């Protein structure tokens, strides 16, 4: 009976070792959970970006105003007999603290 108890204790210790320190252990599980959470957050950001891109492409397909706006902003195109003013913001001075 004593040998059986010792054998069972050794098996329990080996199983506990694998549970806490072996491959696919509890710390690995928690690390994977954190990775899944980070990946889900990244996926959510990408979904929002994709929504904006889909809305932009739909707007370009359906309306000429979006095409005109892009031509003005990205290509600098202006209409005939139209004056174009570009307002350039003043450069911000770097915050320098005296030493």
State pTM to two decimals.
Answer: 0.49
Dihedral, CA atoms, 56, 58, 59, 64, nearest 10 degrees? 130
Distance CA 16, CA 25 (A): 10
Inform me whether the pLDDT recorded for 14 exceeds 70: yes
Contact 25, 19 (CB under 8 A): yes
Report which of residues 78 and 32 the model is more confident about.
32
CA distance to 8, 28, 50, 59, 62, per residue, from 56 (Å):
66, 42, 10, 5, 10
**Mean pLDDT for the chain?**
83
Three-class secondary structure of residue 89 per DSSP: coil
């Amino acid at each position: 009976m004593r040998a059986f108890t010792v054998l069972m204790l050794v098996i329990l210790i080996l199983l506990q070792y694998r549970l806490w320190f072996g491959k696919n252990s509890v710390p690995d599980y928690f690390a994977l959970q954190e990775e899944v959470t980070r990946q889900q957050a990244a996926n959510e950001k990408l979904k929002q970006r994709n929504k904006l891109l889909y809305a932009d492409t739909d707007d370009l397909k359906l309306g000429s105003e979006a095409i005109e706006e892009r031509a003005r902003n990205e290509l600098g195109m202006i209409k005939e007999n139209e004056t174009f003013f570009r307002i350039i913001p003043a450069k911000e001075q770097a915050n320098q603290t005296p030493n």
